[in-house]
Amino acid sequence: MSSDYKDKRIRKNSQLSSFRLAVLGILTAIKQERNVKIHLVISILVIILGILNDLSKHEWMFIAFCIGLVISLELINTAIERVVDLVTSEYHPLAKEAKDIAAGAVFVAAILSVVIGGVIFIPKILQAIMS
């Protein structure tokens, strides 16, 4: 990295707080990554479903945890994809492993969220159908 580029970067970063840079990172991921958009839409739908079903404080804590976990891991997955693409545009088995493992982390969190969402919502939906 050239020192000129580094100087410019340090100056630029000191103008923006780390909080604003983090928000910028989230907005970049939302704009550029289809999966981040999909997770956000699903999260909004789950929140609406939660409001309609009048969830308890504990149920909301589980839902909030799952939404935060999946979106955080999706952002880390996106960052790993960027770094891999920065390092190589060629096919490389390690690049494949890095991307696939990062995607696996999101998948595990998504499965956990589906299980928790099912435990919370299925009984409520069944009760609503039966009554």
Ligand X SMILES: Nc1ncnc2c1ncn2[C@@H]1O[C@H](COP(=O)(O)OP(=O)(O)OP(=O)(O)O)[C@@H](O)[C@H]1O
* Candidate residues 28, 30, 35, 47; the one interacting with ligand X per rule CB under 6 A: 35
The response to whether 97 counts as a known ligand-binding position is no
Q: What is the 3-state secondary structure (H, E, C) of 50-110?
A: HHHCCCCHHHHHHHHHHHHHHHHHHHHHHHHHHHHHHHCCCCCHHHHHHHHHHHHHHHHHH
Contact status: 101 vs ligand X (CB under 6 A): no
The response to whether 7 counts as a known ligand-binding position is no
Contact status: 32 vs ligand X (CB under 6 A): no
Catalytic positions are: 74
| Contact (CB, 8 A) for 41 and 62 | no
Contact status: 91 vs ligand X (CB under 6 A): yes
Binding site for ligand X (CB under 6 A): 33, 35, 81, 88, 91-92, 95-96, 99-100, 103
